[in-house]
Chain A
Amino acid sequence: MNIPGSITTLLIGILLTVTSIWYGQNHGLMPVEASEEAVLIDGLFNTMMTIGTGLFLIVQGTLIYSLFKFRRRPGDDTDGPYIEGNIPLEILWTSIPAVIVLIIAVYSFEVYNSIGGLNPMDHSVAHGHSTQQIANMPGAAIAATLPEETTAPQPENLDNATGDRSPAVEEAVTQDPATAAVRDQSLPQRKDSSAMGSTAPRIGPTPGNVGKPPDYVINATGLQFAWLFTYPDTGIVAGELHVPVGKEILLNISANDVLHAFWVPEYRLKQDAIPGKQTELRFTPSKVGEYPVICAELCGAYHGVMKTKVIAQTQDDFDAWLKEQQVASNPNDLKQTVAVNPANQAPDEFLAPFIQDLGIDRAIVQQLHSQHAHSSAS
């Protein structure tokens, strides 16, 4: 075997390490980090990129070196050396990857915990079990109590007088009239079973915020092919997501028809919207700006145009926007909206107020008509 001298090996090793570390930090592959979670996730990615670059260079380097160094010389028909294996070497290249993988796993676990992935029991806040805390916050409409023993999914009938709704059968988030108006209420809702310990899919509060209510609760509803954002207790329905920077946002996500996924690349966060199920995403925007909200789960022919924006504003701008929208949405209008079941409307009618915001043109929405009617029928 042609083992390079120890000095050469050392030099190659140093060069390899330096290159990997440099590239791992300077790959420039990611968009801006616009949420507090993004910074943590990028740190993990950079580490994996560093290790990956090193491994890439070792393997490709070995292959290319062998290609030149070990190619058969013309006229040489003999066999190579008889080497069947080398147990210490094999142990080495089994244990080193095992250790590396372990490190990445522990690091991923840490990051996952830090962005709030691991708080299965912090369930009460999101779904309004601990009412006292939530009642004080802006989105107080979600605070209606939800007894834990109610599990039987029953479609609620919104045509009843709003005051008459039995809290027992409702998901807390849909008690907001504006949300109820945009969500398809005919879907039976699945809830978490606290006895089984399984919880709604979510990225929850970061460890520092466990037990605290989020600063803002916003409900996101995915439907072919648009996102609708409702701000509980304000009556605001928007096609774009407005959030204040530096505040923790809880997004309650669901879908009316098929699977969608809420994704903001600049936030590095994604969560599927599942019809008949609430999913949650809790995050803190950190940069003022406009970023794309993308549907990442195939949802039909116009999946590619199901896009909108998240508009991260300063607290003042956000408050101003909130106020402006509240004035715009007349409470009388709201009552009417509640009575309307979106499933009975053609999507172009239903979406008409939001079309401007959605950034898709009316022609497309009209094209969708037949398809949406189809899906509601079945």
Chain B
Amino acid sequence: MTQTLQEEATNTPAHGATEGKREWLKYISFSTDHKVIGIQYLVTSFIFYLVGGFLATLVRTELATPQSDFVSPDLYNGLFTVHATVMIFLWIVPAATGAFGNYLIPLLIGARDMAFPKLNAVAFWMIPPGGILLMSSFFFGAPGSGWTSYPPLSLVYNKVGEAIWILSVLILGTSSILGAVNFIVTILKMRAPGMVLNSMPLFCWAMLAASCLILLGTPVLAGALILLGFDLIVGTAFFNPTGGGDPVVYQHMFWFYSHPAVYIMILPVFGLISEILPVHSRKPIFGYKAIAYSSFAISFLGLIVWAHHMFTSGTPPWLRMFFMINTMIIAVPTGIKVFSWLATIWGGKLRLNSAMLFAMGFISMFVIGGISGVMVAAVPFDIHVHDTYFIVAHLHYVLFGGSVFGLYAGIYHWFPKMSGRMMNETLGRVHFILTLVGFNLCFLPMHKLGLEGMNRRIAEYDPKFATLNLVCSIGAYLLAVSTFPFIFNALWSIFKGEKAPSNPWGGLTFEWQTTSPPPHENFAIDPMLLIAPYEYGTEKAKEIIQAGPFLATAAATEA
């Protein structure tokens, strides 16, 4: 296989040679090319990831000692509020849906671009102003009511910061809605001939499910935030109890979006993992349909579990039981995915490169978050651990151990396609090990802290928790350090990395049958589905992998 890859590298047309000098400009322009937009999303959201990570490091520095001695309590509240908002609305959502969705969907389904390229560019260009707006709140007293912004606290505490927060999240939410419309139309209407829904790559299924959630959930969040804004700015009393408003209604509206948001952040990553594992295991995905449909099962169930965030709040008993059972049932479709991934790996010929290590790390870490997820769904237990570090641990195992590990796997896997260069494997492995160790050091002890009685969102805590908190903080620093090999690797590889062949991993989806990076409009000929996306181990797969970038070269005879 490697020989054929070398051959085809010479076939690659010298595209971009003339425009090369000015090419970087398109990445800061209002480009309508889905690949440019995808990379814009990825780079922007990664920068915000570093910002959010920096805020997290400050939070952990404060928590390294039991006293409140590093930042003021007001600033501390601002730090964790903005940290969560950045990580959710400016890193995971735009990276998982915006970056990978935009870059991959047209390539995976054999389209030349997204259905609405201009809308796509508009959606992206709402992210930087939204993000900068959020950051600006630090100059006016950062919002300090947590990313949940529960009234009445959010109505009386750091009001200017809170108003900025509302506006910023509204902008980012709108961007997310625009993106979702685009994904749904593109996936449903622009697939290559021969590609029925049941032969789509699994990432498309996941994006379809996630986009439905965005469309159904985000407008409700917008409604909640607009009403909260009215309460905050013009003194209405939708949620303000002093005027007869009900703060619990806000919680319902907020979580009606924000629980599905968890699936908006994890479903696309499930999709990435379903793409990456078969390629590096050299085996077909195990149980295609089960994985595809379970995305929709998760997305449907995800809409009717929101009140499990409110078990100690204003929910009547029967409602608690209803939401508990729904929440637990989600473990079934999620379990189907995890077991199918394990069966995909089982008996394969695993190429343990950085992408594969992160993908396996994803399964390993996500399962811990999944197990604690079923635990916190149980109402009596949740009454104990709600709003404690057990929840902090759980959510980071899902969102960091899950989403972020998966996003790293995606970056390592598609970097050669996006940039035309290979990444350094040694640095990639160093990055993986540092991330895995740092992550577990940081978040595993939090389970115990929460069970023992440490509540979340506090700047100072009982000295009996000091040792474990110090361990967490050391883990957080290690996690911060772990990004350096990655950043260095990515930057170095873009300029000096080994040239990537069109199909470095021997993948079967359309993007590997065009050049690295793909030409403008992706394909020279209209792709037709010649083989289902995961037919590894067949003769036909071998032929297609050996054929090189035939979808991009006019000389190709295969089509």
Chain A residues at the B interface, C-beta cutoff of 8 Å: 1-2, 29-31, 40-41, 44-45, 48-49, 52, 55-56, 59-60, 62-63, 66-67, 70-73, 76-86, 89-90, 93-94, 97-98, 101, 104-105, 107-109, 111-112, 115, 117-120, 153, 186-188, 190, 197-199, 201-203, 257-259, 261, 263, 265-266, 268-272, 274-277, 279, 292, 294-305, 371, 374-375, 378
A1 lies within 8 A of B455 (CB): no
Assembly CA distance A77 to B349 (angstroms): 9
Q: Tell me whether A71 and B77 are in contact in the complex, defined as CB-CB below 8 angstroms, given that A109-B321, A271-B312 are known contacts.
A: no
Residue count of chain B within 8 Å CB distance of chain A: 104
- At the interface, yes or no: B387 with Cβ under 8 Å from chain A? yes
Which single residue of chain A is at the shortest CB-CB distance from B325?
A105
Q: Tell me whether A67 and B360 are in contact in the complex, defined as CB-CB below 8 angstroms, given that A97-B331, A274-B314 are known contacts.
A: yes
Considering only residues 452-495 of chain B, those with a C-beta below 8 Å from chain A are 452-453, 455-462
Residue interface mask B304-325, A partner, CB < 8 A = 1 = 0000000011111110110011
Question: Can you list 23 A-B contacts with CB-CB less than 8 angstroms, sorted by A residue number?
Answer: A29-B447, A45-B375, A59-B364, A63-B345, A71-B349, A79-B283, A80-B349, A82-B283, A82-B537, A84-B284, A84-B534, A93-B335, A93-B336, A118-B317, A202-B317, A257-B152, A257-B156, A258-B156, A265-B384, A268-B380, A274-B248, A297-B387, A304-B459
In the complex, how many angstroms separate the beta carbon of B375 from the nearest chain A beta carbon? 5
B350 lies within 8 A of A72 (CB): yes
Q: Tell me whether A67 and B350 are in contact in the complex, defined as CB-CB below 8 angstroms, given that A41-B384, A56-B371 are known contacts.
A: yes
Q: Tell me whether A117 and B313 are in contact in the complex, defined as CB-CB below 8 angstroms, given that A275-B152, A303-B457 are known contacts.
A: no
The 4 closest A-B CB pairs, nearest first, are A265-B453, A304-B458, A276-B241, A82-B537
- At the interface, yes or no: B150 with Cβ under 8 Å from chain A? yes
Which single residue of chain B is at the shortest CB-CB distance from A71?
B350
Assembly CA distance A59 to B453 (angstroms): 29
Say which one of B10-18, B210-218, B286-294, B410-418 lies at the interface with A.
B286-294
Assembly CA distance A188 to B289 (angstroms): 54
Which single residue of chain A is at the shortest CB-CB distance from B541?
A79
- At the interface, yes or no: B379 with Cβ under 8 Å from chain A? yes
Residues of chain A within 8 A of B335, CB atoms compared: 93-94, 97
**Sample of 5 more A-B contacts, CB < 8 Å, known A84-B286, A375-B156:** A60-B364, A72-B350, A80-B537, A109-B324, A298-B456
In the complex, how many angstroms separate the beta carbon of A373 from the nearest chain B beta carbon? 10
Which single residue of chain B is at the shortest CB-CB distance from A190?
B246
Which single residue of chain B is at the shortest CB-CB distance from A266?
B453
In the complex, how many angstroms separate the beta carbon of B30 from the nearest chain A beta carbon? 40
Q: Tell me whether A31 and B381 are in contact in the complex, defined as CB-CB below 8 angstroms, given that A90-B290, A300-B153 are known contacts.
A: no
Assembly CA distance A265 to B378 (angstroms): 17
Assembly CA distance A94 to B333 (angstroms): 8
A187 lies within 8 A of B379 (CB): no
Residues of chain A within 8 A of B241, CB atoms compared: 187-188, 274-277
CB within 8 A of A48: which of B76, B155, B381, B457?
B381
Residues of chain B within 8 A of A300, CB atoms compared: 77, 144, 153, 157
B314 lies within 8 A of A55 (CB): no
CB within 8 A of A112: which of B150, B281, B321, B456?
B321
Q: Tell me whether A198 and B316 are in contact in the complex, defined as CB-CB below 8 angstroms, given that A79-B541, A108-B378, A275-B247 are known contacts.
A: yes
Which single residue of chain B is at the shortest CB-CB distance from A115?
B380
In the complex, how many angstroms separate the beta carbon of A225 from the nearest chain B beta carbon? 10
Residues of chain A within 8 A of B246, CB atoms compared: 190, 276-277
Assembly CA distance A84 to B461 (angstroms): 52
A1 lies within 8 A of B290 (CB): no
B156 lies within 8 A of A304 (CB): no
A270 lies within 8 A of B451 (CB): no
Residues of chain A within 8 A of B254, CB atoms compared: none
- At the interface, yes or no: B343 with Cβ under 8 Å from chain A? yes
Residues of chain B within 8 A of A2, CB atoms compared: 347
Residues of chain B within 8 A of A67, CB atoms compared: 350, 352, 360
Assembly CA distance A105 to B338 (angstroms): 21
A66 lies within 8 A of B350 (CB): yes
Assembly CA distance A119 to B250 (angstroms): 26
Assembly CA distance A29 to B384 (angstroms): 13
Q: Tell me whether A56 and B367 are in contact in the complex, defined as CB-CB below 8 angstroms, given that A45-B381, A62-B342 are known contacts.
A: yes
A80 lies within 8 A of B384 (CB): no
A258 lies within 8 A of B153 (CB): yes
B288 lies within 8 A of A83 (CB): no
A70 lies within 8 A of B74 (CB): no
Residues of chain B within 8 A of A375, CB atoms compared: 152, 156-157
In the complex, how many angstroms separate the beta carbon of A184 from the nearest chain B beta carbon? 9
A199 lies within 8 A of B316 (CB): yes
Assembly CA distance A186 to B244 (angstroms): 10
In the complex, how many angstroms separate the beta carbon of B316 from the nearest chain A beta carbon? 5
Assembly CA distance A40 to B379 (angstroms): 12
Assembly CA distance A76 to B537 (angstroms): 13
B313 lies within 8 A of A272 (CB): yes
B460 lies within 8 A of A304 (CB): yes
Which single residue of chain A is at the shortest CB-CB distance from B360?
A63
Residues of chain A within 8 A of B332, CB atoms compared: 94, 97-98, 101
A108 lies within 8 A of B381 (CB): yes
Assembly CA distance A270 to B283 (angstroms): 49
Which single residue of chain B is at the shortest CB-CB distance from A43?
B380
In the complex, how many angstroms separate the beta carbon of A214 from the nearest chain B beta carbon? 18
- At the interface, yes or no: B448 with Cβ under 8 Å from chain A? yes
- At the interface, yes or no: B188 with Cβ under 8 Å from chain A? no
Considering only residues 30-46 of chain B, those with a C-beta below 8 Å from chain A are none
CB within 8 A of B336: which of A40, A94, A118, A187?
A94
Assembly CA distance A257 to B151 (angstroms): 10
Assembly CA distance A1 to B536 (angstroms): 16
- At the interface, yes or no: B220 with Cβ under 8 Å from chain A? no
Max count, chain A CB within 10 A of own CB: residue among B2, B155, B331: B331
- At the interface, yes or no: B339 with Cβ under 8 Å from chain A? yes
B316 lies within 8 A of A1 (CB): no
Assembly CA distance A30 to B449 (angstroms): 9
Which single residue of chain A is at the shortest CB-CB distance from B248?
A274
B455 lies within 8 A of A294 (CB): yes
A296 lies within 8 A of B388 (CB): yes
Which single residue of chain A is at the shortest CB-CB distance from B378?
A108
A294 lies within 8 A of B347 (CB): no
- At the interface, yes or no: B146 with Cβ under 8 Å from chain A? yes
Considering only residues 326-342 of chain B, those with a C-beta below 8 Å from chain A are 328-329, 331-332, 335-336, 338-340, 342
Assembly CA distance A198 to B248 (angstroms): 14
Assembly CA distance A266 to B324 (angstroms): 23
